[in-house]
A = this chain, B = another copy of it.
Amino acid sequence: MTVSYTLDISRSNTKSVIKLLFRWRGSIWKAVWLQLLAWCIAYFSISIVYRFALSNDMQKSFDTLATYFETYLEKAIPLSFMLGFFVNFVINRWKEFFHGLGWIDDFALAIATYLRGSTEQTRVLRRTLIRYLVLTQTLVLRDISLQVRKRFPALETLIAAGLLTQDELERLEKIPDVYTRYWIPCHWISELLYEAREYGHISSDYLLEKISDESNKFRHGLAELLKFDWVPVPLVYPQVIFLTVRIFFALCLISRQFLRNDDHDIYVPVMTIFQFIVFMGWVKVAEALLNPLGEDDDDLECNYVIDKNLICGMAIVDQGGQPTPKLGKDIFWD
């Protein structure tokens, strides 16, 4: 589920910043604590071994190694640079994902007005169009979002959910190509609209096409999601980034030990722990957003979107055929 905190920051003052910093769900703390714990255990284990178990000579070798690592650590690995560019890239991709998810309002408003008629038959038609569009969305999201897949493991479960009828299921299953199958309900929408035009429920080709445009826009968003799924960010890119961060902190386990002849031995590597929180938090932004349809706290809730589209779409089209409020002069009338 996405984590909302907009109200916390309606004023940017110290209080709201503090409230923001100490949230738990979807937070840096939740994302980092386990790894930080593991890192600390490793660090202190090495520290104890170094201080108490190693012979003088071995300590000396350790010193050599640690000094060598520390010398090159910052200059060899441009951590902040890589993260800056990568997070920038991933967050833009996440925004595109978000826009691809699809909201049914436009389509519903278009058919509520332009598909005329107050009969039960036209109401059935309007509701069916909404159902088909949500069905397309569900078919697509099942294949790219684990959340939706878990909710609808088989096509049959869509019947129980009221998104599909037995008859429609059979027709879908006749289509061998999975990718084609996604768009069959969209084809039904086109056909139903075309017939409605022929029966005069839609008064012109122009308005027919305006409704079709809305369903097409919805469908394009879903097609974008499929493309994102088919061709993800080239593997090397996230690998380089994630690897770099891990190597960096693995090396810190040795390079940031307080050596015998260090003049500032304070036992606890406070700065490196801070650094760990900052960088692991930063990389976490990238990891969580790389697959926005996953199951992280901040991932997009596809099931919620499906339900919302169904409820909202049905509610809007049921307004169709009802009279508008009576017109009257407004209070600013001169």
Contacts and interface: CB of A to CB of B under 8 A. Distances in A.
Given A6-B232, A167-B326, A324-B188, A242 B20 contact: yes
A281 B180 contact: no
SS of A interface (majority): helix
Contact of A206 (B71, B167, B209): B209
A49 interface: no
Contacts of A230: 2, 4
Contacts of A125: 327
A235 B298 contact: yes
Nearest to A159: B331
Interface in A146-201: 146, 162, 165, 167-168, 171, 175-177, 179-180, 183-184, 186-188, 190-192, 194-195
Nearest to A89: B91
Nearest to A184: B319
A291 interface: yes
B35 A14 contact: yes
Interface string A311-334: 110111001000011111111110
Interface centre among A76, A194, A319 (most CB of B within 10 A): A76
A201 to B, nearest CB: 13
